[in-house]
A and B are shown apart, each in its own frame.
Chain A
Amino acid sequence: MTIAAPHRFTGGRRIDISQLIVWTIGGILLAIVLLGSILTLRAGHYTAAQWRDFVVFGIAQGAIYALIALGYTMVYGVLRMINFAHGEVFMSGAMTTFFLADYLNRSGFLKAHPWISLVAMLLFSGLVSMTVAVLVERIAYRPLRGAPRLVPLITAVGASFFLQYTFRGLFGSGVRAYPAIPVLQGKLWVFQKTQIAVFVGVLITLALLVLFLQRTRAGLAIRAVAEDREAAALMGVDVDRAIVTTFAVGGFMAGIAGVLYALVFVQVQFFMGFLPGIKAFTAAVLGGIGNLPGAAVGGLVLGVIESIGPSLFFDGYGIRAAHQLKDVIAFTILVLILIFRPTGLLGERLGGEERV
């Protein structure tokens, strides 16, 4: 689902030296990846079941990246700006909900009514993150609406630090562990039940997002602002309101992602938003920033590549402890995609002319 017509690359290509070099580097990287994969597959260390497991782990991780990436991409769509505090919005939901989860666990409610508890946790986390996202927009971004593009980027980083250390101050620097949810323990066929919960949670959230953007007036307003802010304002769309809605929706999804993350990884801490935030941003760029399905696809692709890449690409070369290189792989893939397809997998932007 794109908000407007997908971008089509039409410009003629001018081949110059620097581009040739970049393409050569890309070609070499691609060759390394392909050769490694073939060598690994021929060596046959892994069974089919193990490859399947890699993919499943990757999708579970990637689905969470996707949810966070949607927040990045939506904000980019309407404001043409990267909201670097988004990872912290995700963290604030997960951290705050820990106390709700802990309370529910202690009171025994979690055991008695696991589903109600889970939904309550998701909603609570979503609301907390939504509030934080809206506050960040109101305090750190709105006063700078007309400023040059770099300025809100800097305040975004500032807001990110501020949130991290606020949470560190409030809740301490230690790691906290979510209680186990009894109904989500164990396996269903080859999947962990928590992984299934994540898939289902992400799918429902995505469906709701699509409905919201396509079927509601607020969604229409967001799409209009993404298309052309000035024109939308002239047509009577309340631009500030549409932007706040964007942040609220993005924040809500980040909050949901926070709880889903905690289901899979259990431990939360004040610094937890940083890496997923960076990865989700990467996913958004990978899929084509500003493009909603692109963010979802980018998240999944990134998750799967991180999970499967170290084994698939490097095992064949006999590199030891290849798993440490997973970030290298993720970012190399990003570079490759930017070389061969600068607008990302599914093409950039929500619509309208690019204003750079």
Chain B
Amino acid sequence: MRRPIRSFTVLLLLLAFVLAACQRAQPTPTPAPAAQPSPTPAAAASPTPAAQPTPQAQVTKPTDPIGVLEIKPGEPIVLAWMLTVSGGTAQLGEDSKRGIEIAIEDLGGELLGHKIELVGEDSGCNPEGGQAAATRLAANPRIVAIVGSSCSSEARVGAPIIDQAGLVMVSPSNTAPDLTDPAKHVDAYLRVAHNDKVQGRVAAEFVVNKLGLKRVATIHDGSLYAEQLANVFAENVQKLGGTVVAQEAVSPEDTDMRPVLTRIATQQPELIYYPIFNPAGSYITLQAKEISGLENVKLMSADGLLEPQTVQNAGQAAVGLYLSGPDLTVLGPKYQEFVQKYQQKYGTKPVAGFHAHAYDATMMIVEAIKKVAVQAPDGTLYIPRKALREALYQTKNFSGLTGNLTCDQYGDCADPKIAVYEVFSTDTAGWPDSAIRKIYP
């Protein structure tokens, strides 16, 4: 009976591949920048000791419980991004990355006499990716602060690693309530995106009060973001007098959603709420109307699907889909200016919902660096890391593109403005205006 043994070996191998696959989504890391600047400090440092034999560092170097970053003259200030820039969620992360790039451009690429260098890691919108990206970033001692992550599940495992390394991160698009929950929040973590306690409530109000629908079903994909948002939505629907008839889950790699939709159809919901990501979200959009019993069901999703891909992938099936997300229509002239720069630089309008947030996150970090950085007479810049964190937490009435940001002690800095959009056309050339329109509030 050798066969079962062999088959189990094969199974074991299979498991190894599946595990390996989880890691696959990351591309090779951006070439380690450590090698590149080494000639610069060497060149810059050699004349300094010759001219002034007294070590400058002792004079002004601040002390800090978790370390002081020393940036010699000529060395860049390194900021990092940790976003999802590949796979189905690429637009979400790419959009945020562009926000950071524009912010750096607005600063003239310079801060306190040092060039700003941007490095980054793809975090793939899953816990494994978040862990890998955070570990890589934590290993780079030159990084001052991180803008990221894109997806909440990345931050759940990534933030503690960043925390351990003494870095600090400001997320432009994490929205899961869990991350700033007093019991689970880590010191290194702040965000400028809204907390989903707000988004879930607004979505529920829209469904029950505006649409007048009482029977809803939810689907999540097991990710932190989706599960928590679906739950917040469900709680609020119940509070408002509606019924949650089914709470289902799929996995992000699923392609055949028909069985789960058929399960939902048995409960005859009037609306299905699936705050998940692409491509799984588009599969649901595409397949929902095929199911007998769901022909007239309304579909609603959230900011994870607020991108042109959603409409491109689902085509005609996406028309009528409701999407909640940050309300970009109420933002002031500064935002319009930003959008123009975006369009000039990338030849398209913003492709997802969190570009302005990323811009704000970057500017908030820059502001905090300015506050705490100490400049030695020889031009060396010292950034005490703990003080940098504290400065970020003390952010008050920071006037950003997304509103007036004030951070609380658990890292929530957003000035949340949530809107519900409706997809009315499959034309994504002029996204967002050509395809979606705001209908609530």
Contact = CB atoms under 8 A, between A and B. Distances in A.
A267 B279 contact: yes
A40 B249 CA distance: 19
B290 A278 contact: no
- Bin chain A's interface residue count: 35 or more
B221 to A, nearest CB: 9
A278 B90 CA distance: 25
Between B17, B247, B314, the greatest number of chain A beta carbons within 10 A of the residue's beta carbon is seen for B17
B4 A177 contact: no
Contacts of A271: 24-25, 87
A97 interface: no
A350 B290 CA distance: 40
Nearest to A150: B13
A135 B21 CA distance: 24
B262 A50 contact: yes
A164 B90 contact: no
A320 B290 CA distance: 23
A334 B249 CA distance: 23
Contact of A175 (B260, B262, B282, B316): B282
A285 B9 CA distance: 13
B30 to A, nearest CB: 16
A61 interface: yes
A40 to B, nearest CB: 11
A180 B315 contact: yes
A212 interface: no
Given A57-B258, A339-B4, A343-B3, A269 B250 contact: no
B24 A267 contact: no
A269 B87 contact: yes
A338 B7 contact: yes
B275 to A, nearest CB: 14
| Size class of the B contact interface (CB-based, 8 Å) | 35 or more
A58 B13 CA distance: 27
B7 A356 contact: no
A267 B249 CA distance: 20
A311 interface: yes
Contacts of B331: none
A339 B279 CA distance: 36
A199 interface: no
Nearest to A334: B11
Interface in B248-266: 248-251, 253-256, 258-260, 262-263, 265-266
B184 interface: no
Interface in A131-181: 153, 157, 161, 164, 168, 173-175, 177, 180
Contacts of A161: 24
Nearest to A281: B14
A275 interface: yes
Interface string B387-402: 0000000000000000
A324 B251 contact: yes
Given A175-B88, A267-B282, A356-B2, A320 B247 contact: yes
Given A46-B266, A53-B262, A265 B255 contact: yes
Contacts of A306: 256, 259
A90 B279 CA distance: 19
B12 interface: no
Nearest to A51: B262
A168 B87 CA distance: 9
Interface in A4-37: 11, 14, 19, 22
A57 B261 CA distance: 11
B256 A307 contact: yes
A71 B17 CA distance: 19
Of A278, A324, A343, the most chain B CB neighbours within 10 A belong to A324
Given A307-B258, A356-B6, A192 B290 contact: yes
B43 interface: no
B211 interface: no
Interface string B1-32: 11110111011011001100100110000000
A201 interface: no
B175 interface: no
B259 A307 contact: yes
A77 interface: no
B248 A285 contact: no
A323 B4 contact: no
Given A267-B283, A356-B2, A82 B10 contact: yes
A164 B1 contact: no
Contacts of A267: 255, 279, 282-283, 313
Contact of B259 (A153, A274, A308, A348): A308
B195 to A, nearest CB: 24
Nearest to B248: A321
Given A175-B279, A342-B4, A53 B250 contact: no
B253 A54 contact: no
A61 B313 contact: no
A278 B18 contact: yes
Contacts of B24: 161, 164, 271
Contact of B256 (A49, A157, A187, A265): A265
B10 A285 contact: yes
A264 to B, nearest CB: 8
B312 interface: yes
Contact of B17 (A50, A53, A157, A339): A157
B256 A57 contact: yes
A252 interface: no
B126 interface: no
A113 interface: no
A196 interface: no
Interface in A57-81: 57-58, 61
Contacts of B88: 174-175, 269
B348 interface: no
Interface of B: 1-4, 6-8, 10-11, 13-14, 17-18, 21, 24-25, 86-88, 90-91, 220, 222, 247-251, 253-256, 258-260, 262-263, 265-266, 278-279, 282-283, 286, 290-293, 309, 312-316
15 contacts: A47-B266, A174-B87, A175-B88, A177-B313, A266-B283, A271-B87, A274-B21, A307-B256, A320-B247, A324-B249, A324-B251, A326-B254, A327-B251, A338-B8, A343-B3
The 7 closest A-B pairs by CB, nearest first: A321-B249, A323-B260, A173-B86, A57-B258, A177-B313, A324-B249, A307-B259
Interface of A: 11, 14, 19, 22, 45-47, 49-50, 53-54, 57-58, 61, 82, 84, 153, 157, 161, 164, 168, 173-175, 177, 180, 187, 190, 192, 264-267, 269, 271, 274-275, 278, 281, 285, 306-308, 310-311, 315, 320-324, 326-327, 331, 334-335, 338-339, 342-343, 348, 356
Given A53-B292, A269-B279, A274-B21, 8 more contacts: A161-B24, A266-B313, A269-B87, A269-B88, A285-B7, A310-B263, A311-B259, A324-B222
